[in-house]
């Protein structure tokens, strides 16, 4: 299993946003993390999710813990492959 860490690209596997990609922005505890789409890119608002509801990918971006959406978007702009991967929706 891939490690869930700050900057890791994850896919939501449960809920109304299932199949959409997000970026882990903060580790809350051993069961929860904070993620963001950002909403302009993938439609996922910043929220706390259970780690059982996400699937980590092997991709990650360089951000600091608690980074705002602007900084996450800037990190995604640096790597076009990751940005294109983020916009793909899995059904």
pLDDT tens-digit readout, 45-76: 999 999 999 999 999 999 999 999 999 999 99
- Give the residue carrying structure tokens 């109304």: 16
CA 45, CA 38: separation in Å to the nearest integer?
A: 6
Contacts of 80 (CB under 8 A, 6+ apart): none
CA 41, CA 27: separation in Å to the nearest integer?
A: 22
CA 65, CA 7: separation in Å to the nearest integer?
A: 8
Protein fold of 8-87: SH3 type barrels. (2.30.30)
Mind listing the pLDDT tens digit for each residue in 1-27? Answer: 468 999 999 999 999 999 999 999 999
pTM of the model: 0.90
Mind listing the pLDDT tens digit for each residue in 20-42? Answer: 999 999 999 999 999 998 988 99
Q: Taking the domains of the chain in order of start, what are their residue ranges?
A: 8-87
């Amino acid at each position: 299993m891939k490690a869930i860490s700050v900057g890791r690209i994850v896919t939501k596997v449960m809920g109304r946003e299932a199949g959409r990609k997000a970026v882990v922005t903060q580790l809350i505890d051993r069961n929860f993390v904070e993620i963001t789409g950002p909403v302009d890119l993938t439609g996922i608002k910043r929220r706390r999710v259970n780690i059982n509801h996400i699937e980590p990918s092997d991709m990650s971006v360089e951000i600091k813990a608690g980074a705002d959406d602007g900084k996450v978007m800037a990190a995604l702009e640096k790597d076009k492959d990751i940005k294109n991967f983020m916009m793909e929706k899995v059904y």
